[in-house]
Structure 1
Amino acid sequence: MSTPSSWPLPPESIRFVIPRRVISELAQHPLSSGLYPLGMGYYRQATGHHMERDVHDDNLLIYCLDGEGDLEAGGKKHRVRPGDILLIPKGIPHSYKARRKNPWTIYWVHFHGHHASDFVQHLALPRSDLPHLVMPIGIHSRLVSDFEALLEARESTYNINAYICAANQLRQIMAHIALLQPLARHKQSGEGIDIERVHSLMQARAHEQLDLDTLAETVNLSKYHFVKKYKEITGTTPINHFIQLKIERACHLLDTTNNSINEIAFAVGYEDAYYFSRIFKKLMGVSPSQYRKMRTGAFPYKGD
């Protein structure tokens, strides 16, 4: 593991290096060998925090919550602001420091594993071999909770299951960052669309039909540009998302009411119950009536 900084740790901050014997077990266990933490921490208003590494033999992830810092890596200098993710892959010499007048507050984790490079590559920008070292994704309470859950591993002196849990928590963090990236990139470019506004309209009108013209008008775009930008951000089309939302609501009604299939179809905007059932089965793998029977055990969960 790359040596953590020797920054004097105040009471409200955390630095935890996982014992070597535990790391050895994580590296061999099938549930953690792909990706596992080596050390992690939380530095609050880290005045004087700085680090320089000519040899970087693992991977480092930093999430800046507040304040500012500076990173120099790959021959470039980067200013780090709240909501920024720093991802420094193995083998890249680097230095970083908290800004003197407004020092950063950060979560950090060193990590390794035979899938580590795959996760790093997963966070690469389109048409890029490596991730951008500083990725602005914003402050997200769920991501903060994920880091807090990761840090809970330090409370276990020697419980391999707790560390396996931490390893899989790290997987969740990396996957969550990848999920947040597209929307963050569009916001950063100034060319994004107000996804929340679009989704709010879908929620409000899930009981009826919506066409692309109406959805595109809410964000003042042509149908073509709206569909293109929406798919870039979400990975799906707006109509597919709207249909999925309708089917989710239908599932809720099937679970919580005794309404007929015809009534539920009408409640989510389908006048033709047969067509509704076809769409439902295509997405859920079972018909509406089979889905309803599953809650009583009258139909097997796995279906046919």
Structure 2
Amino acid sequence: MSQTSDWPLPPGSVRYIIPQRLRKLLEKHPLTRELYPLSFGHYQRARGHSMYRSRHDDELLIYCTEGEAEVVTGQQKLHIQAGDLLYLPAGEPHHYTTPDHNPWTIHWVHYTGPLTTYLRQYLGFQGNNRRINLGRQPRLLVDFNGLLSVQDSGFQEQPLIHACNRLRQLLTALPLSHKRPQLRQQAELDLEQLHQLMRDHLHDRLDLDSLAAKAGLSRYHFIARYKQLTGETPIQHYLQMKIERACHLLDTSDASLPQIAEQLGYEDSYYFSRLFKKVMGVSPSNYRRVNRY
């Protein structure tokens, strides 16, 4: 494990370091061995906080909510400000320091495990990218504070296993915090507006021309750009939203399949049943029967 800062904690700050014997347990336990934290904490207005690591053995994620800091990592020098998420990968020496006139407030976690390689790309830190601006994300603060709920547990096994799975929740939820704003900025496509339009028209049929016109693009460029950003075509996404709604109606109502198909803009219930099976792998009647136990 990389050395954790021994900087004196100011009021309102927390630093939690998992003992070596328990790290070995987390490394081997089937519920935690793929991903587990080594230490985590919250530093409030961390005046005088500075750290240099020539050897860095784990992954470090820092979310800055106030103040600023200067970070040197690899060949980069970064100015970190409130709203920035900083990623410092294993194997990359780094140095960071925060100025006395505007010290940063941060939540941070050191973590390791076989999943870290996959998470690096999933989180959006490809290549030399080490910083993502998230802005203020209250949900992320809830997740970081969830890790800290393990304190005062007396280093017991079960609370630490729970903390490991809270870390997985935190990391897998992060792209949901930054993906949509980034996509809108890169693509000049307001995906949330387009998806809201789809939600508003689940009861009828939207065609590709209507969606492309809303985006202000030709059909060809709209399909290509949408698929580049989401991995699927707009009509595929629209259909999947309709199937999600159909599942909800099958679960919560006694409406017949023709009635549900009509509510979702399809006059031909047999055609809609084929679409449903293509997405869900079972027919609507089988879906309802299996999920009515």
Q: Quick one: distance in 2 between partners of 1:60 and 1:282?
A: 42
Preserved contact between residue 136 and residue 184 of structure 1 (Cα < 8 Å): no
5+ long unaligned stretches in structure 1 = 298-304
Out of 190, 194, 197, the residue aligned to residue 194 of structure 1 is 190
Q: Quick one: distance in 2 between partners of 1:231 and 1:99?
A: 44
Could you tell which deviates more after superposition, 140-149 or 9-18?
A: 140-149
Give the structure 1 partner of residue 67 of structure 2: 67
Give how far 1:131 is off. 5.1
Give the structure 2 partner of residue 162 of structure 1: 159
Partner-residue secondary structure (3-state), 1:153: coil
1:16-40 alpha-carbon deviations (Å, 9 max, x no partner): 1111111110111122122110000
Q: Which amino acid aligns with 1:11?
A: P
Q: Quick one: distance in 1 between partners of 2:171 and 2:199?
A: 29
Give how far 1:8 is off. 2.4
- 5 Å-filtered alignment, 1:1-304, equals 1-123=1-123, 130=127, 132-180=129-177, 182-187=179-184, 189=186, 191-297=187-293
Preserved contact between residue 62 and residue 86 of structure 1 (Cα < 8 Å): yes
Give how far 1:263 is off. 0.9
Partner-residue secondary structure (3-state), 1:154: coil
Change (3 A) 1:99 1:244: farther
Q: Quick one: distance in 2 between partners of 1:227 and 1:193?
A: 12
Change (3 A) 1:224 1:45: farther
Change (3 A) 1:112 1:283: same
Give how far 1:188 is off. 5.0
- TM, length-normalised to structure 1: 0.88
Identity of aligned residues (%): 46
Q: Quick one: distance in 2 between partners of 1:167 and 1:56?
A: 21
The count of residues paired between Structure 1 and Structure 2 equals 293
Partner-residue secondary structure (3-state), 2:149: helix
5+ long unaligned stretches in structure 2 = none
Preserved contact between residue 40 and residue 110 of structure 2 (Cα < 8 Å): yes
Q: Which amino acid aligns with 1:49?
A: H
Preserved contact between residue 85 and residue 134 of structure 2 (Cα < 8 Å): yes
Q: Quick one: distance in 1 between partners of 2:25 and 2:106?
A: 28
Give how far 1:250 is off. 1.3
Partner-residue secondary structure (3-state), 2:209: helix
Q: Quick one: distance in 2 between partners of 1:178 and 1:196?
A: 15
Preserved contact between residue 231 and residue 238 of structure 1 (Cα < 8 Å): yes
- TM, length-normalised to structure 2: 0.91
Change (3 A) 1:234 1:169: farther
Question: What's the C-alpha RMSD, in Å, of the aligned pairs?
Answer: 2.2
